[in-house]
Amino acid sequence: MINYLAMIHDYRSSELGRDSWNQPKMVLGLDRVNVRASFASGVVSTAIGDDGSLWVWGKSKRGQLGLGKDVTEAIVPSRVKPLSGEKIAKVSFGWGHALARTEDGKLYGWGYSADGRIGKVGKTLETSLLESNADMSGSQLSSSSVQEIAEKRVLDGMEKEKDLPIVWEPHLVEETRGFEVIDISCGLDHSLVVCRNGSLLSCGSNFYGQLGRRNADLGLFPVELSSHPICIASGLGHSLAICSKGSPDVSEESRDIFSWGWSQSSQLGRTGPEDVPSVVQGLEEETPVSVSGGRVHSVVLTSKGEVWIWGCGRNGRLGLGSSNDESEPIPIESLEGIEVLQAVSGFDHNLVLVAE
């Protein structure tokens, strides 16, 4: 049986691999690919075949397609040939950059490389024009004002960037040579990488403290985390990690969620220092299975099949029947009695997969 990929989107056709976008339809150009996974950014879509092949389509002037120098658009799915000899297991996208993990634990990076957000891939690391290390922690502005300022800086930076540092094709990330990578996650302009030996590495912008380390060097360096990471997630400017309380082999009942980075809308789910990992409060009796980060909110799925959520509630994104922010995790009552299999967050929305 051939698995096929259907998509629905509210954007231009190149990200869909077809001409219409108002209802789900099969993506053209993948009829001979047995698709087993798919990933997407705001401008690029990907499919992974059961043979480990990686296929991309969409439009990105920052090299997220990985199809070669100055290739900024692919109308139909195109195979990423530099990865033809690898079996890709997972892909993650940020704003302009991408990471891919192979089945045997190699890490590849490509796209916009400022602030070392894809690690060292043979090019000199450069600081972003967005002034990543600027600090607003002493500001007396309201949460909404700080958010507006941060978003304006991103937009202003996008306009200023004329000579973008771009890696047009996937390259092995030098810092992970000799290590087995088991999970990856890209935020807006930072990245997280988990290795089999229990280390958690971060790179990219540290504008909000989302790297979780005081080491300001560009490139992949260890997060200041004493627990063993199991899985990770990234929001716009915050980071999340499910960690075992002991060794990685202990019972899954002994788990905590750590958070760090931007918390102007309470998306960290805790109090205390924002630039170092600390345990999310209010989940002591729960066992987290997966975690996901939106722009300014966070979502966790527990072993009971329950969904807990916290952070910015604007436009009802928390699913709690209001637009109020929540400073600590709270269960979504409308999902009570429903077995949730997967919960993921988008920029300002969420999706859950439930059992029939």
The pLDDT of residue 50 is above 50: yes
Q: Count Cβ neighbours within 10 Å for each residue of 93-123 and write b for 16 or more, e otherwise.
A: bbbbbbbbbbeeebbbbbbbbbbbbbbbbee
Confidence of residue 10 (pLDDT cuts 50, 70, 90): very low
Contacts of 51 (CB under 8 A, 6+ apart): 34, 87
The pLDDT of residue 164 is above 60: yes
Residue 343: Cβ within 10 Å count: 25
Q: What is the mean pLDDT of residues 323-345?
A: 94
| Domain-wise residue ranges, the chain | 1-122+150-195, 225-355
Max Cα distance, the chain (Å): 59
List, as own/partner pairs, every contact residues 303-307 make where C-beta atoms lie below 8 angstroms and the sequence separation is at least 24, other chains included. 303/252, 303/253, 305/338, 305/339, 305/340, 305/341, 305/355, 306/331, 306/332, 306/335, 306/336, 306/340, 307/331, 307/332, 307/335, 307/340, 307/343, 307/352
Amino acid symbol at 40? A
The pLDDT of residue 159 is above 70: no
pLDDT of residue 28: 87
List C-alpha distances in Å: 247 to 176, 289, 301, 329. 22, 17, 22, 25
Round to whole Å and give the CA distance between 31 and 174.
35
Q: What is the pLDDT of residues 94-103, one digit of tens each?
A: 989 999 999 9
List C-alpha distances in Å: 181 to 6, 106, 235, 242. 29, 6, 20, 16
Confidence of residue 125 (pLDDT cuts 50, 70, 90): confident
Q: What is the mean pLDDT of residues 6-30?
A: 60
Closest CA to 110 of 120, 102, 99: 99
Q: 1-122+150-195: what CATH class? A: mainly beta
pLDDT of residue 11: 44
The per-residue pLDDT of the chain, averaged, comes to 87
Round to whole Å and give the CA distance between 347 and 241.
18
Round to whole Å and give the CA distance between 93 and 110.
10
194 DSSP β-pair partners? 183, 200
From first CA to last CA, the distance across the chain in angstroms is 23
pLDDT of residue 297: 97
**What percentage of the chain reaches a pLDDT higher than 90?**
74
Round to whole Å and give the CA distance between 231 and 304.
18
Q: What is the mean pLDDT of residues 21-44?
A: 86
**Cα angle 18-110-15, degrees, rounded to a multiple of 5:** 10
Q: Count Cβ neighbours within 10 Å for each residue of 286-307 and write b for 16 or more, e otherwise.
A: bebbbbbbbbbbbbbbbeebbb
Which H or E run contains 7?
Answer: strand 6-7
229 DSSP β-pair partners? 243
Q: What is the pLDDT of residues 234-278, one digit of tens each?
A: 999 999 999 997 655 555 668 999 999 999 999 999 999 999 999
- 280 secondary structure, DSSP code: P
Q: What is the mean pLDDT of residues 297-322?
A: 96
90 DSSP β-pair partners? 101
Confidence of residue 26 (pLDDT cuts 50, 70, 90): confident
